[in-house]
Amino acid sequence: MNLRAVRAIVVKDLTVLRHAKAVLIPLIVVPLVMLLVLPALAAFAPRLADLPGASDLNALLEGMPAAMQARLAGFSEDERIVVLLLTYLFAPLYLILPLMVASVIAADTFAGERERRTLEALIYTPTSDMELLVGKLLAGFLPALAVAWGGFAFYSVVANLAAWPTLGRLFFPTGMWFVLALWVAPAVAAVGLGATVIVSSRVSTFQEAYQIGGVVVLPIVLLVVGQAAGVVVLSTGFVVALGAVFWAVALVLLRYGARTFRRGELMARA
Amino acid sequence: MAAAQVILTERLTRRFGEATAVDALDMTVERGEVVGLLGHNGAGKTTTVRLLNGVLAPSSGRAQVLGLDPQRDGVALRRRCGVSTETPSVDERLTGRQGLRFFAEVYDVARERVEPRLAELLAAFDLEAAADQRVGTYSKGMRQRLTLARALLHEPELLFLDEPSSGLDPVAARAVDERIAGLRDGGTTVLLCTHNLAQAQALCDRVVVLEHGKVVASGAPTALAAELGARLAVRVALRLDDASAAPGLLADVPGIDQVVTQQAEPLELRFEAADADAIAAAVRALVRAGADVYAVERELPSLEHVYFALHRGERLAHGSSGRLVADDGVQRAEVAAGQRAQGEEVRS
């Protein structure tokens, strides 16, 4: 493997990305909403719960499965709402970040580059198909990892600040969140990359690749809904298993993507 | 494969579904040659370049480039080839220098050589002043020059130039031609894909004309033109009291046709003559009518004549595999029995 060429592809793609507003804006706005605005709103949750007609939050708490109720047992009623939101309900939303970053960048570096007709020069270079693929995958994976881990650190600060008026102490990150950030988030990013690589070889534009590849967000949406409905309870054991499933899916997608990745076929669609 | 042969293809074929982009292509290119691959859009030129670089796999047939099999040794082969793509294919979000640096890394140019080589090429292609501007701000000519510079970064032995003057204004196109001529003079082997016939005539040692992926003619441009028997085109500069009567004076001269007034003042006629005797008869007819003849000039048959003649022939005898080969010096038409009809149509 020609690591110099792989590195050059990664550096070039990331340099190009820095100047691509259409790609960059969602990569900044969505994390800000997820990691700053939502947890900040959680700080007001106890006060909202006291308002007349705000029965939904209380109902949500009461509807939680016994396992979740047990985990929140040591907290007061106000504390329970804040901890439930910041530790459990927002956890699946956090996973959307690495998935989105990886998918957007992969769609841009595969389908987008073909759409801009800049891929043609690249396919004539003395890189193997594998080097080309690895370079482009890393160009999506590394920023996804940076956003996931940087976002985790940022969220830890914001969550503690948001919860401070209610809890009066540091409570975050939990063990489950460490597993989520270090084990599940990279897996989710890999799933997004695998799906987008496969989709990108079959469509012509960045938009198509991104939209069709976006289907992989569904399992995460199911997690959000499942937790809110009390069907799923995120625990350390559960997220370890969840990560393993995501890694397995990523492996299948990436292997299939690598097997079908042929520079000539990419150009045939240009 | 002879040592001097840089490209050799044998019945190289590539199909896309039902369509055949390259059809049993037999071609050789020798070291130091500039060979033009001519054909209209969709004739199979770009697909040929992709096949020869191992970017596409052939459906059948084989190719050898620089002694390597493009499919098996694609990476090693591409290290020794440079390709200037039809579309500039340069990322608008990078600066010219960043784009070149990226390709220098990918082509594995020695680290200590990267910056000097970049400086050298930016200067050679007159891009120094704009080197640190985004390519998005470049004119089409600048992009084309950048594409050429990129193709030369690693000093390739074999250069593929795919429509290098496409969409350029005449000044920029001439500058590109001068660069290619410089490369030719420096001994670089070049496969030039173009539908710019004047460019091919000026730069190429040999041309290969493709139609629907098939070779319909190959040879030295002038030899091909002569072989096709293009009629002699003649221009005559003269003075005649009744200028409007001039074309009519030639109407009855045997072997003369296609008479047009090229220019009214000073009067210039253009016509086609069957042979040299017909030209002499035409001049005599003009002099008898009281014309003062200042100049008689024979136009050399051009590649353009060949190309359009072939194109007409292809349409008239569509489906035949008429193929014409002309060598410099000894000219010969390889028009096989079944193909003769097409050759005759071409001449008509």
Give me the helices (H) in chain B, please: 45-52, 74-80, 96-106, 111-124, 140-152, 170-185, 197-203, 221-227, 246-250, 276-288, 303-316, 340-347
DSSP β-bridge partners for residue B193 = B37, B162
Q: What is the mean pLDDT of residues A266-270?
A: 60
Instruction: Say what the pLDDT of residue B10 is.
Output: 95
Give the span between the Cα atoms of A199 and A213, in whole angstroms: 6
Longest dimension (CA), chain B: 77
- The confidence score (pLDDT) of residue A58 equals 66
Model pLDDT for residues B65-108, shown as the tens digit of each residue = 999 999 999 999 999 999 998 887 888 999 999 999 999 999 99
Nearest chain A CA: its distance from B326 CA (Å): 32
Q: Give the closest-approach CA distance of A259 to chain B in angstroms.
A: 16
State whether residue A202 sits within 8 Å of chain B by CB.
Answer: no
Angle A129-167/A185-200 helices, nearest 10 degrees? 140
Q: Which phi and psi angles does B32 have, rounded to 5°?
A: 85, -5
Chain B: closest CA distance from residue A213 (Å) = 24
**Would strands B19-30 and B34-38 be described as parallel, antiparallel, or unpaired?**
unpaired
pLDDT classification of A118: cutoffs 50, 70, 90? confident
Query: Which chain A residue lies closest to B55 (C-alpha atoms)?
Result: A264
How much is the pLDDT for A143? 93
Rounded-to-integer distance, Cα B22 and Cα B26, Å: 10
Give the end-to-end CA distance of chain A in Å, rounded to a whole number. Answer: 27
DSSP H stretches of helix in chain A: 3-18, 21-32, 38-42, 45-50, 55-63, 66-71, 77-83, 91-107, 113-115, 119-123, 129-167, 175-179, 185-200, 206-213, 218-228, 236-260, 263-268
pTM, full prediction:
0.77
Nearest CB among B56, B92, B107 relative to A125 is that of: B107
Q: Domains of chain A: which residue ranges?
A: 3-269
CA distance B154 to chain A (A): 11
Flag if A268 and B16 touch (Cβ within 8 Å).
yes
Best A18, A125, A261 residue to mutate vs chain B (most B CBs within 10 Å): A125
pLDDT band for position B332 (cuts 50, 70, 90) = very low
Dihedral over alpha carbons B244, B250, B251, B255 (to 10 degrees) = -150
C-alpha distances in angstroms, A108 versus A114, A129, A204? 9, 18, 11
- For chain B, say whether A127 makes contact (Cβ under 8 Å): yes
Is B150–A121 a contact, with Cβ atoms under 8 angstroms apart? yes
pLDDT greater than 60 at residue B320: no
The ipTM of this complex is 0.82
The CA angle B12-B15-B20, to the nearest 5 degrees, is 90
* Contact with chain B for residue A7, Cβ under 8 A: yes
Main-chain phi, psi angles of B110, to 5 degrees: -50, 135
What region does B215 belong to: left with phi over 0, alpha with psi -120 to 50, or beta?
beta
Cβ contact, residue pair B93, A2, below 8 Å: no
CA-wise closest residue to A194 among A263, A250, A244, A132: A250
Contact across the interface for A124 and B90, Cβ inside 8 Å: no
Q: Percent of chain A beyond pLDDT 70? A: 91
Q: Which positions in chain B have a beta carbon within 8 angstroms of at least one beta carbon in chain A?
A: 16, 50, 53, 55-57, 74-79, 81, 83, 85, 87, 89-94, 98, 102-103, 105-108, 134, 147, 150
Smallest Cα–Cα separation from A219: which of A75, A92, A77, A89?
A92
Q: Which residues of B touch A4 (CB under 8 A)?
A: 105, 108
Q: At which residue do the structure tokens 């370049």 appear?
A: B49
Cα–Cα distance list, A54 to A47, A58, A59, A167, A228 (Å): 10, 8, 9, 21, 16
Mean pLDDT of B2-6: 76
Q: Note whether A126 contacts B107, CB cutoff 8 Å.
A: yes
User: How many of the other CB atoms lie within 10 Å of CB of A67?
Assistant: 11
Q: Which residue, among A8, A199, A268, A213, has the nearest Cα to A103 in the 3D structure?
A: A213
CB-based burial of residue B337 (10 Å sphere; 0-12 exposed, 13-18 middle, 19+ buried)?
exposed
Contact status of A118 with chain B (Cβ, < 8 Å):
yes
Identify the residue among A124, A263, A269 best suited for mutation to test binding to B, counting B beta carbons within 10 A and taking the highest: A124
Residue A166 — very low, low, confident or very high, per pLDDT cuts 50/70/90? confident
The three-point CA angle A235-A238-A240 to 5° equals 110
B78–A7: do the CB atoms touch at under 8 Å? no
Packing angle between helix A3-18 and helix A129-167, nearest 10 degrees?
50
Q: Is the pLDDT of residue A220 over 70?
A: yes
Cβ density class A167-203: b for 16+ within 10 Å, e for less: beeebbbbebbebbbebbbbbbbbbbbbbbbbbbbeb
- pLDDT, tens only, B135-180: 999 988 889 889 999 999 999 999 999 988 877 778 778 888 888 8
Q: How many whole angstroms separate alpha carbon B116 and alpha carbon B120?
A: 6
What gap in Å lies between CA A137 and CA B72, rounded to an integer? 25
H or E segment at B13?
strand B5-16
CA distances, B151 to each of A230, A232, B161 (Å): 61, 57, 9
> Among B206, B154, B181, B157, which residue's Cα sits nearest to residue B29?
B206
Q: Which among B81, B90, B106 is the nearest to A127, CB-wise?
A: B106
Helices (H), B159-257: 170-185, 197-203, 221-227, 246-250
CB contacts, 8 Å: B57 with chain A? 264
> Are A15 and B98 within 8 A, CB to CB?
yes
> What are the residues whose beta carbons fall under 8 Å from the beta carbon of A66, sequence distance 6 or more?
none
* pLDDT-derived band at A42, boundaries 50, 70, 90: confident
Q: Which two tokens stand for residue B132?
A: 């640190």
